[in-house]
Amino acid sequence: METLNFAAAMLSGSIVGDITMQDQIFSRYMSVCISFALMTAVTASAYLIHQDYLRFKSLGPGGTPSTWLGYLKIKFLGLFAIHDPYMPPAIPPEIYLNRVAYLTKKELPKRKGSRPVVRGIAPHRQLDQRPSSQIFAKLRKEIEGMGDRWPRRLRHGTSCLEKHGPGLFALQPINKSRHCSGEICHAHPSDGSMHLTLHPADAAIVVLRGWGERHPLSSGGWLARFVPQGFVMVYAPRTEEETEIVRKIVAAACWWIGGVDVDGKFGEGFQEEPLSDAEIEEQTKEFKRPEACPVPVFIRGSTG
């Protein structure tokens, strides 16, 4: 009997030992699997973030430094971006606006073809359907020509907001944002597109007729510290005919920001008398003042 009890005890101990060993093996196996899964997830996340950062840098120079800090700032702002850039902005009752709309649907026929692919926030760029160098040169000439024809109310120069492309400014802005006061528009040499600020009704026509889309941060509120409410990207013109359409849109921006009727729609004429040398010197001094072009601290920095 004692022999049987001893054998049973030995068998029971052996079984318990086997179970304990199996538990240890299983525990080690699970630890290895979890560690491998975590390492894979971290590696994959790092790779995807790095690729996204490279895509951010590939958009080229703009108003945000092409650094990791600039990238992180833009990813944060992306949390508050508008969901549908093709949805036109709301149009407040006319009583709340100090200018009437400038464009009509007749002036802006529906843009042919599909919309271009657009990516980014700052930089915010068009990735395809880019213009030839000749077309962009014509667009730049149109922008500069407006400043030359209205020297007492408009001025062309390097964009304050974008920092690289040609821009157009109102010297006595009527509707101005908290930063880059008086900037009407700027063009992007890298893709031929433009950014400008329009009367809400004009912005709606531009978006609905397929000539542009809203900037991701153009919803207003606290985001207005980065870009003006109503900020719109206008797609790059592909032909000389489209360049004329874009010129009309820039004229509408001149009307909204500077109150300048460059196309003479309201009987203001088509140009002003040239400036005297003294006026040019005084205007240049005023235009170069640092406070004339304040930039939001959150996106300030060299883009390299």
Q: pLDDT of 168-193, one tens digit each?
A: 999 888 877 666 668 999 999 889 99
Residue 245, pLDDT score:
95
Residue 239, pLDDT score:
94
| CA–CA distance, 122 with 227 (Å, rounded to integer) | 10
Residue 297, pLDDT score:
36
Using the predicted structure, report yes or no on whether residue 155 has a pLDDT greater than 80: yes
Using the predicted structure, report yes or no on whether residue 246 has a pLDDT greater than 90: yes
Using the predicted structure, report yes or no on whether residue 6 has a pLDDT greater than 80: no
DSSP string, the chain: -HHHHHHHHHHHHHHHHHHHHHHHHHHHHHHHHHHHHHHHHHHHHHHHHHHHHHHHHHT-S-SS-SSHHHHHHHHHHHTT--S-TTSPPP---GGG-SS-----TTTSPPPSSPPPPEEESSSEEE-SSPPPHHHHHHHHHHHHHHHHHSTTTEEEEE-TTTSSSEEEEESS-SS--SSSTTEEEEE-TTT--EEEE--HHHHHHHHHTTSEEE-TTTT-GGGGGTS-TTEEEEPPP-SHHHHHHHHHHHHHHHHHHH---TT-TTS--S--PPPPHHHHHHHHHHHT-GGGS---GGG-S---
Residue 43, pLDDT score:
80
Residue whose entry in the numeric block shows the structure tokens 């009367």 = 199
Residue 192, pLDDT score:
92
Using the predicted structure, report yes or no on whether residue 2 has a pLDDT greater than 60: no
The 10s digit of each residue's pLDDT in 35-80 is 888 888 888 788 777 676 667 666 766 667 677 777 778 777 778 8
Average pLDDT, the chain: 78
pTM, 2 dp: 0.75
The 10s digit of each residue's pLDDT in 92-147 is 776 456 678 899 888 899 999 999 999 988 888 999 999 999 999 999 999 888 88
